[in-house]
Amino acid sequence: MAAEDPATRRVQVAEHPRLLKLKEMFNSKFGSTPKFYVRAPGRVNIIGEHIDYCGYSVIPMAVEQDMLIAVEPVKTHTLQLANTDPLYPDFSTTANNICIDKTKPLWHNYFLCGFKGIQEHFGLSKLPGMNCLVDGNIPPSSGLSSSSALVCCAGLVTLTVLGLRLSKVELAEICAKSERYIGTEGGGMDQSISFLAEEGTAKLIEFSPLRATNVKLPSGAVFVIANSCMEMNKAATSHFNVRVMECRLAAKVLAKHKGLQWDNVLRLEEVQSKLGISLEEMLLVTEDALHPEPYSREEICRCLGISLERLRTQILTPNTQDGESSGQRIA
């Protein structure tokens, strides 16, 4: 398992056109020179679509496209964030008391997620400031995890500025948790592969505990990743969280049906583990306990023995609280 520290290496900026261009733009923006650069790749998933947040294993691999950040620590307590893409405006804030507006998935909020995740992990109250220039070549909202790559990049930037150390696994877990500051209820696949990827191999990512195993790809295999130019910003709509919530409610209803303590259950894999059954047996239990037709909120409440108010305020996330039902179906 790749649990070591994130790799660092010395490079001659002049030998890398992208780094050289980023350095020149940084100097133009901030009037100074970056002290270091941080990179985090995007990803494509091969097997296991939308099951990481259910606790089940996935097989993703990193792509060449990435997020790259040029960084200069400063003596003030101010974060100054800029982007090489003029579509994303500059942003400045104090490095202390970071507030992230879940209702506005602006680009800089993803950086703040990674920053705040490291801050809270170490329980720090006063952090130094920094100037950062972000350059990304992952098509935004394309399903290649540009947002998670930015969160990961920001987490690693913050860790480096503070002079602290964490393993790749610890960083992945922190960044997966911290991306929820912006309202996305992801499962951790994107952040895990961004840190744990290795050249020439896909990874079997397993959870609880997080671990990664090399998956040898067929000799001569070529993966073609085509950009459809259709965009979906997970944090800007409720679609992603509705799907997560449907699975979460399914897990709770299954747990209640089987006489388990369901209140704290969040993932279907938890139910399977508590029942001590195989995946095949879990499928049979699911087919027996849940009907294929959509569940209304009232029916979910009857199944769990709770009020609509408790469902809305204690179980549903803010962007899944409204509407006629929790989604189209929970199974």
Is residue 208 within 8 A of residue 192, CB to CB? The reply is: no
Task: Give me the pLDDT at residue 323, please.
Answer: 54
For residue 101, indicate whether it is catalytic: no
Do 289 and 256 touch, CB atoms closer than 8 A?
Answer: no
Give 220-277 pLDDT, tens digit per residue.
888 888 888 888 777 667 888 899 999 999 999 999 999 999 999 999 999 999 999 9
Identify the pLDDT of residue 236. 67
Total domains in the fold of the chain: 2
Domain-located, residue 69? yes
CATH number, domain with residue 184: 3.30.230.10
Residue 18, classed as helix, strand or coil, is: helix
Answer yes or no: do 174 and 68 share one domain.
Answer: yes
Count CB atoms within 10 A of the CB of residue 32. Answer: 11
Contact residues for 97 (Cβ-Cβ < 8 A; gap 6+)? none
Contact between residue 39 and residue 59 where contact means Cβ atoms under 8 Å apart: no
Instruction: Give me the CATH number covering residue 270.
Output: 1.20.1440.340
Domain range for 175 is 13-41+61-196
Mean pLDDT of the chain: 92
Please tell me which residue in 135, 190, 263, 288 is annotated as part of the active site: 190
Contact (CB, 8 A) for 150 and 85: no
CB 202 within 8 A of CB 60: yes
> Would you state the pLDDT for residue 252?
97
pLDDT in tens, 99-151: 998 888 899 999 999 999 999 999 998 899 999 999 999 998 888 999 999 99
pTM for this predicted structure? 0.91
